[in-house]
Structure 1
Amino acid sequence: MTDHLTIGERIAWYRRRRGMSQEVLAGLVGRTTDWLSKVENDRIELDRLSVIKSLAVALDVALGDLLAEPSLLDWTPDSGDRTVPALRAAITDYRQLAPMLALAQADDPPSLPELRREIADIWNAYQASRYGLVVRRLPALLAEAQHAAIAHEGDQRDQAHALLGQVYHAAATILVKIGEADLAWVAAERGLNFAQNSRDLIVTTSLFRSVAHALLSTGRYEAAVQLTDDAAGLLDKELPHASPELLSVHGTLFLAGSMAAARAEDRATTQAFLAEAEESARRLGADANHVWTAFGPTNVTIHRVATAIELGDLQIALDKGPDLDTRTLPIERRVRHSIAVAQAFSLRNRTDDALDALLQAEHLAPEQVRHHYLSRQLVLTWIRRQRGKPSHRLIDLARRIRVV
């Protein structure tokens, strides 16, 4: 109903639904009525999720309601015509809760090497920003991994549990990306349970990161910060002789935590978490993609830019972001950084530079740009601010990402 509204317009829409005056809402979030009026009329661009979250709390709506998430996943040759509902059905299948209720399957379970290859294919598709393909293939892969976890015994069962945890991790990750926050939480929680059953430290740490991202997507920033601290404590004894895989999942855990701390407006913790991630990247030595983390020095800098934007330090973001060479990273990481750069340019009223950055991102990964709330909100805001007719480039982009 509110897909084609800016965040400011959406705030006004929900405020009126609540029968609340501008004076009352502004008072609840510690702002002036004039500030709220400018937000609702798109004369002030909301640049921090922490502020948007405070408005969501005051209006008693979910953060995703103000961000217009989730968005409809398009049908494409990759996705077919069965998308999120099929994945939701697979995740919420009651037999996932009680494996002993699962019907005996006539077929043999997939071999563990076969499962590993299929999981690698899913992660490769995700990092290539082929969202429709990931969503289409996950329901069948969940069923295969569940079959393997039930059928195998002993050490192979532990390995199968680790693989099942990885499949749920992939599901949680893509669901966060397309705005299905509540379902992402279910997938992350279930994946963590299987990972812990496997006693695989690297997979378990990966799932802690997945839970942190699920918390971020629902605006539970302080909880995500605490999770980062708690999970990192489990790794202290292993870090002195950590493998590249463990360094990578350790570093990305702190990167997720740094975003949570920034959105909670905790500068000290943000910098402390970034320093921990930077030390892991220094020990790793170069950009890599162990356990599909895309972790290394460049990803740390990407998060320095992203957290600077969250904290309102736009000059830091613009000093580091536009010229950062991200070519060593998977497309998903490169495009997310370009969206952040577009946001920083937009907040400095450099709309042409912002549009250039967003168009470059769309060229690499149209699905990712289409489904990121920030892309949609930036384009809507630029259109609303135009005094004359918007440029063909802007209108064409707005049509491609379905906001006009």
Structure 2
Amino acid sequence: MGSVELLPVGRRVAYWRVRRKLSQQVFADQLGKSKSWVDKVERGVRRLDKLSTLQEIARVLRVDTAALVGRDASSVQATGPVEGVDRIRAALSRYEIPWGEPAGGPVVTVDRMLRDVGYAWTTFQYARYPQVVDLVPELLTNAQRTHAEAPRVEAYRIVASLSLKLGDAGLAWLAVDRAMLAAADDRELVSAAAVQLGQVLRALGRVREARSVLLGAAYRITPPVIDDAAPAALSLCGALLIQAALAAAQDGKEAAAGELIDEAAGMAEQVGDGCDHHRTGFGPTAVDLARAAAAVEVGDARAAIAWHDKAIARPGWRWLPAEHRAAHLLDVARAHLHAGDASNAARMLSEVERTAPAEITSRPVARRILAEVVRDPRAPTTIAKLAATLGVG
């Protein structure tokens, strides 16, 4: 085992698969993945940077996760200290029914809820996650004290998005489940909440369920005549198609992902850049970012970087929220790592820090990427200092 521990993660997966007498196809079937996905993992073309995926592989191979990650275990599980998450969980666990005067306090007016939800979304989109953590408990309490469905759904969507950023998919699932229930029979609200539901399922590695949910929601609200459709409806439908495409890419279905993004691209051209209907940031630039993210998922680093270069040349790049831009830059950092280019990965991380510092300090995935970059002897000194400051490495 001593020599096995020195192997890259993908080769360790191959070692244990062979030890368990599993072919690549059988192994892929048990994981719910494609054979090409397994092959790319084992050859190191596709990186395993999600703890949930590593845990599922370890379960199928009947080994401890540590046997797969070895000396990388500390970086895979690295998380940033974010205070207040327990208060969010406690607030989300309370149930109050807004009939007249609930036991916990008076009914909250619709105007106040809309104002508070708008402020929380704006704070989130500026990537000020610690501040959003502070806002959320009261927002959740008030969400249960209002008769209005729309702001209640939006409050739960914010919590789901925030929880995903902080690496707590279980908490995000609870929040998005509340959102779906609050949406009741309103097709628009259900579809808006389905964006976060798809993201949660993807984070949990349940990519086939994610794709099914997202496509069902998208096609339920697809306007009968695209050319006459309202930009808000097209934005929501397009955002759902993009999330479905990313789920397909995670599942190794590259062609299906491309087709779905192409479908979203037609809608994006009608919407244009600079809009943020349903907090999606949907438009032609967002579609290019999605193409880059899908390319990262299927292990095509060159395509991901090319789409990134195209996207940031658009005027719409500057109009996207800081959170959206920073999240994309993390994807591009992953692409450079896939290509063995630690220097450019470090450059992307530096850009993330300038754009949205909390994207680095609060997101576990960012800290894992940072840990991998600083292990490379070619990493610049500035990134080494950032890693040392955050205790990553």
Shorter chain as normaliser: what TM range? 0.7 to 0.9
Who is 2:32 aligned against? none
Any gaps of 5 or more consecutive residues in structure 1? 1-5, 76-82, 150-159
| Partner SS for 2:375 | helix
| Separation of aligned partners in 1, 2:338 and 2:9 | 18
Q: CA deviation at 1:385?
A: 3.7
2:363 corresponding residue in structure 1: 372
Q: Quick check: 1:25–1:58 contact (8 Å CA) kept in 2?
A: no
Distance in 2 (alpha carbons) for counterparts of 1:349 and 1:307: 19
2:193 maps to what in 1? 207
Residue 344 of structure 1 aligns with an amino acid whose one-letter code is A
Q: Report the AA paired with residue 74 of structure 1.
A: V
The alignment status of 1:400 with 2:389, answered yes or no, reads yes
User: Cα distance, 1:100 vs. partner?
Assistant: 7.2
Which of 306, 328, 336 is matched with 1:337 structurally? 328
Q: Normalising to structure 1: TM-score of the pair?
A: 0.78
Contact 2:80/2:363 (8 A) holds in 1: no
Of 264, 267, 272, 2:259 maps to 272
CA contact (8 A) 1:287 1:298 kept: no
Is the 1:165–1:195 Cα contact (8 Å) retained in structure 2?
A: yes
Structure 1 residues 72-151: aligned runs within 5 Å = 72-75=80-83, 83-93=84-94, 95=95, 103-107=102-106, 109-149=107-147
- The equivalent residue for 1:287 is 274
Instruction: Measure how far apart 1:254 and its partner are.
Output: 1.0
Q: Deviations over 1:189-237 (max 9, x none)?
A: 110111125x2x3322110111101101100000011112211221135
- In 2, are the aligned partners of 1:129 and 1:331 still within 8 Å (CA)? yes
1:258 and 1:273 in contact (8 A); partners too:
yes
**1:245 offset after TM fit, Å?**
1.4
Residues 72, 339 of structure 1: alpha-carbon distance in 2 compared, 3 angstrom cutoff? closer
Segments of 5+ residues of structure 2 without an aligned counterpart are 1-5, 28-37
- Structure-1 residue corresponding to 2:47: 47
2:47 and 2:283 map into 1 onto residues whose CA distance is 27
Report the Cα offset of residue 258 of structure 1: 1.0
On the 8 A contact 2:46/2:298 being kept in 1, the answer is no
- Structure 1 distance, partners of 2:225, 2:128, is 34
Q: Secondary structure at the match of 1:234?
A: helix
* TM-score of the two chains, using structure 2 as the length reference: 0.80
Summarize the alignment of residues 3-402 of structure 1 with structure 2, pairs less than 5 Å apart: 23-24=18-19, 27=22, 44=44, 46-47=46-47, 52=54, 55-58=57-60, 68=76, 71-75=79-83, 83-93=84-94, 95=95, 103-107=102-106, 109-149=107-147, 160-197=148-185, 199=186, 201-237=187-223, 240=226, 241-322=228-309, 324-325=311-312, 326-386=317-377, 391-402=380-391
Q: What is the deviation of 1:73?
A: 3.5
Would the aligned equivalents of 1:338 and 1:358 in 2 still touch at CA under 8 Å?
A: yes
CA displacement at 1:376 relative to structure 2: 2.1
Q: Deviations over 1:339-379 (max 9, x none)?
A: 12222222222221211111011111111123334422222
Instruction: From the superposition, tell whether residues 129 and 56 of structure 1 become closer, same or farther in structure 2 (CA, over 3 Å).
Output: farther
SS in 1 for 2:173: helix
Which amino acid letter does the alignment assign opposite residue 403 of structure 1?
V
1:155 — aligned with what?
none
Residue 35 of structure 2: aligned partner: none
8 Å Cα contact 2:242-2:287 kept in structure 1: yes
- In 2 relative to 1, CA 8–402 (structure 1 residues): closer, same or farther, beyond 3 Å? farther
Deviation at 1:182, TM superposition (A): 0.8
Distance of aligned partners of 1:11 and 1:396 in 2 relative to their CA distance in 1, 3 Å threshold: farther
CA RMSD of aligned residues (A): 3.4
Q: Secondary structure at the match of 2:318?
A: coil
Residue 78 of structure 1 corresponds to which residue in structure 2?
none
1:156 matched residue in structure 2? none
In 2, Cα distance between the equivalents of 1:49 and 1:25?
23
Measured after TM superposition, the shift of residue 308 of structure 1 is: 0.8
Question: Matches of 1:339 and 1:260 in 2, distance apart?
Answer: 18
Cα 1:373–1:72 shift into 2, 3 Å: closer
Distance 1:249 1:397, change over 3 A: same
Secondary structure of residue in 1 paired with 2:274: coil
Q: Kindly state the Cα deviation for residue 133 of structure 1 after the two structures are TM-superposed.
A: 1.0
Q: Secondary structure at the match of 1:345?
A: helix
